[in-house]
A and B are shown apart, each in its own frame.
Chain A
Amino acid sequence: AQTVTQSQPEMSVQEAETVTLSCTYDTSESDYYLFWYKQPPSRQMILVIRQEAYKQQNATENRFSVNFQKAAKSFSLKISDSQLGDAAMYFCAYRSGLLNTNAGKSTFGDGTTLTVKP
């Protein structure tokens, strides 16, 4: 079974500064995807960034980037130039590729609550 671990229940960052959220995972599958989702108080799950396991290049989406270390099974999220609107719960998620027994199923970490201080 796949597991996802987020070791930081809470993080805070000063507005305009940079923060890194940690995530590690465990799997025996070779075909999978990794995601970071943001969940504000409205509870809508918003996709922040995704990474295909077969791609070596780290994904980047505007102020959001990841550090994907496949051998170490680590997938951290860096938020640059933090904004007040970034405050939310962030979930790291693992999703099995469609060729696997657990095709399409996602496993989520426990989440990190990010506070942005003005």
Chain B
Amino acid sequence: SAVISQKPSRDICQRGTSLTIQCQVDSQVTMMFWYRQQPGQSLTLIATANQGSEATYESGFVIDKFPISRPNLTFSTLTVSNMSPEDSSIYLCSVLRRGGDIQYFGAGTRLSVL
């Protein structure tokens, strides 16, 4: 299994500010993803984090709002910019190992925007 450290585990932020979430994996992985889980709902894919290049965003998500970095094979960050109460969600980092068929998840970051 892959050990994923996601920080912070939770935060309460003011409207208009930004928060950066970090995801650190204990070994090299081929693919890293960021998901959003709104209260009481399912997981929605935000983007695929690509090493050394721009992330690939899903429909409805844009780089200006959710900038993502992945400087190496084991680390990625997701920033939630110019936050509003509608951004209150759980944000999850997820990874696939090389050749693996199992997707691992971090413990998530619970974000509340006031």
Contact = CB atoms under 8 A, between A and B. Distances in A.
B42 A110 contact: yes
A107 B94 CA distance: 13
Contacts of B48: 104-105
A50 B43 contact: no
Given A43-B107, A43-B108, A91-B42, A105 B33 contact: yes
B72 interface: no
Interface of A: 33, 35, 42-45, 47, 50, 52, 91, 93, 95, 103-111
A95 B108 CA distance: 20
B102 A47 contact: yes
B interface residue count range (under 10 / 10 to 19 / 20 to 34 / 35 or more): 20 to 34
A109 B42 contact: yes
Contacts of B23: none
Given A43-B108, A44-B107, A52-B101, A108 B43 contact: yes
Interface in B90-114: 90, 92, 94, 96, 101-105, 107-108, 110
30 contacts: A35-B103, A42-B107, A43-B107, A43-B108, A43-B110, A44-B105, A44-B108, A45-B43, A45-B92, A45-B94, A45-B105, A47-B102, A47-B104, A50-B101, A50-B102, A52-B101, A91-B42, A93-B103, A95-B101, A95-B103, A104-B31, A104-B33, A104-B96, A104-B103, A106-B33, A107-B45, A109-B42, A110-B41, A110-B42, A111-B41
Given A43-B108, A45-B105, A105-B48, A91 B43 contact: yes
A93 B48 CA distance: 17
Contacts of B107: 42-44
A38 to B, nearest CB: 11
Contacts of B41: 110-111
Interface centre among A52, A95, A105 (most CB of B within 10 A): A105
Interface string B28-54: 001101000100011111001000000
